[in-house]
């Protein structure tokens, strides 16, 4: 097999890559594959390192059997009649990628999307862990700015995860409460940072009812902040199928914490999570919305960027203001957080690819078949629902 690692060309350029040079060598040695790497001036690993570990630097990847990337490939860069793997961001009928999907089909490309490679309903590969790690780090960076209690550097200015941990030693907390939503890889990444800081985890009842003289955090999921309207027993399957039977009570959990880190996945059919009125009685100083639930968490007015990550939210008028004002919450809503630590997040992604994804590819496993959006010039059966989206 000949594998090609494509140069990320979607702007702004992404520094991440699916395999590190050392991981390429591991694949070459174990599976006797050949790996070709398109030269890149913005990748987090140098071209010379790929060459050093047995890869061939090559601009033209026409001879490759499998082309690996991270972000969407610009239409002009697509090579017809090839097999690609990247995050296509098309399965939710994203308008901005309609033409991309049309071209994947018209160019007879077999498209395998990382996002939908699942085992028993759970995603196998992604950048969730580092989204959580950076999202938690940024929450403390923002809290230092808001309260002026301490000052830490931005994550993207640090070399690696170890440097992030060293920087966190400057965080100075007293008795803050921290709320974390979600139970997936993002939330686990968040809690990795909280546990590193030795912040005590408490249950939801103590979080709601008790005060502490040391910092604490609570991790909740949908079964905690959704209740049946008839006070019946929560059923996850029923909630996913009939969310209208449930009321959101997340507002009860944001009354006392200073920091809210949103690491959940939200079903849009379940409605608004937090309205503007819910924030008026809140004690929140910082919201790090890793999920970027615009329209579902009212303080998340817009997506922000790595270079301009924060804005203030006035909870009385529900408008954007200076974050330093007393009647404002500092909001961080960056959607591409793992890009702040591209080297570590790439290595983490590559490890999963080698251990869990590549063996599936070799065996044409059903999980790969189910993640194949299009092939042979048409949508596959599982993604036929996208046909009307393509006709618009």
**Average pLDDT for residues 315-325, to the nearest whole number?**
93
Phi, psi of 168 (to 5 degrees): -65, -15
pLDDT of residue 266: 84
Domains detected in the chain = 2-125+342-391 (3.40.50.720), 128-335 (3.40.50.720)
d(CA 259, CA 318): 18
Torsion 104-384-373-375 (CA) sign = negative
Is the pLDDT score of 293 beyond 90?
no
Share of the chain above pLDDT 70, in %: 100
Tokens representing 28?
């070459």
φ and ψ at residue 373, rounded to 5 degrees: -75, -40
Structure tokens at 307: 């270079």
Mean pLDDT (whole number) for 173-196: 97
CB-based contacts of 188: which residues, under 8 Å, 6+ apart? Answer: 128, 129, 132
pLDDT at 295: 86
**57-72: per-residue pLDDT in tens?**
999 999 999 999 999 9
Name the phi and psi angles at 84, rounded to 5.
-120, 150
What does the pLDDT look like over 208-257, one tens digit per residue? Answer: 999 999 999 999 999 999 999 999 999 989 998 999 999 999 999 999 99
Of the pLDDT bands very low, low, confident and very high (cuts 50, 70, 90), residue 190 is very high
């Amino acid at each position: 097999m000949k594998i090609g690692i494509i140069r990320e060309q979607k702007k702004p350029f992404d520094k991440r890559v699916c395999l590190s040079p050392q991981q390429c060598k591991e694949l070459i040695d174990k599976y006797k594959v050949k790996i070709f790497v398109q030269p890149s001036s913005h990748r987090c690993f140098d071209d010379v390192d790929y060459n050093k570990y047995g890869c061939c630097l090559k601009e033209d990847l026409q001879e490759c059997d499998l082309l690996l990337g991270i972000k969407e490939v610009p239409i002009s860069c697509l090579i017809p009649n090839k097999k690609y793997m990247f995050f296509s961001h098309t399965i939710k009928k994203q308008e901005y990628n309609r033409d991309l999907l049309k071209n994947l089909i018209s160019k007879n490309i077999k498209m395998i999307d990382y996002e939908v490679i699942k085992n028993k309903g759970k995603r196998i590969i992604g950048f969730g862990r580092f989204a959580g790690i950076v999202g938690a780090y940024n929450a403390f960076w923002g809290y230092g700015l808001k309260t002026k209690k301490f000052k830490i550097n931005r994550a993207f200015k640090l070399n690696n995860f170890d440097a992030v941990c060293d920087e966190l030693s400057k965080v100075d907390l007293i008795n803050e409460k921290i709320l974390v939503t979600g139970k997936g890889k993002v939330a686990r990444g968040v809690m990795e940072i909280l546990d590193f800081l030795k912040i005590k985890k408490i249950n939801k009842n103590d979080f709601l009812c008790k005060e502490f003289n040391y910092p604490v955090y609570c991790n909740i999921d949908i079964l905690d902040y959704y209740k049946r309207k008839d006070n019946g027993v929560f059923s996850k399957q029923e909630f996913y199928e009939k969310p209208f039977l449930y009321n959101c009570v997340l507002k009860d959990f944001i009354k006392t914490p200073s920091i809210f880190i949103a690491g959940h996945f939200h079903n849009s059919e379940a409605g608004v999570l937090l309205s503007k009125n819910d924030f008026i009685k809140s004690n929140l100083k910082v919201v790090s919305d890793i999920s970027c639930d615009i329209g579902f968490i009212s303080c998340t007015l817009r997506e922000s960027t790595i270079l301009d990550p924060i804005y203030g939210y006035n909870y009385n008028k529900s408008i954007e203001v200076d974050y330093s004002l007393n009647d404002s919450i500092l909001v961080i809503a960056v959607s591409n957080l793992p890009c702040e630590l591209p080297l570590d997040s790439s290595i983490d992604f590559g490890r999963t690819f080698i251990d869990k994804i590549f063996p599936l590819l070799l065996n044409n496993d059903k999980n790969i078949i189910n993640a194949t959006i299009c092939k042979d010039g048409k949508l596959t059966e599982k993604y036929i629902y996208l046909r009307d989206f393509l006709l618009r």
